[in-house]
Amino acid sequence: MDGTYPDCVVRNRHGRKREIEVTVARARERLALMERAIKDGEVRGIINVQDYEELVVFRRYADHSGDPDKVGTYSTEQLFSLIVDAVETRANKKARHKGDTLLIEILPDMYALADDRARDLQILLLQSEVVKRLFFSDVYVVGYGHQGDICMKIK
């Protein structure tokens, strides 16, 4: 997890090697929201900013947690769009790698997703041309939902 590839190599009992790369989507959002929570004791909402923005942008949005135009409530479709954009952003960052498995962790957005809609999100992610073009054999999106861990195979 130091920027080199791969992050992990696992061998099965027959000696077959499996290379695993791990990345975190919307990590800057999580950092900005956690900084705000530590500072003020609470935070609410989702910041509608992707990881390619500078950290100062996230902090500015987190400072406006009461402003619905900056941090607020989103429809399920808007949340799906945020997640798909985040997954595609991280996938593009890993596009030059070729390996067995790519794990994309996405928090906190997955927790905001109702459990019965996780399959709908998986269907959208399976249709992503960006993900389809990756050189990884398997791609998974992982996160935490209301009823526990979520793991979706999207390639």
Give 60-85 pLDDT, tens digit per residue: 666 665 555 555 556 778 778 888 88
**Nearest-10 crossing angle of helices 55-62, 27-40:** 40
Q: Is the torsion defined by CA of 105, 126, 90, 101 positive or negative?
A: positive
pTM: 0.73
For residue range 15-65, list pLDDT tens digits in order. 889 889 888 887 777 776 677 677 777 666 666 666 667 767 666 666 665
| Residue-range domain boundaries for the chain | 8-153
- What's the whole-number mean pLDDT along residues 103-127? 79
**DSSP letter string, 18-38:** EEEEEEEETHHHHHHHHHHHH
- Return mean pLDDT, the chain: 78
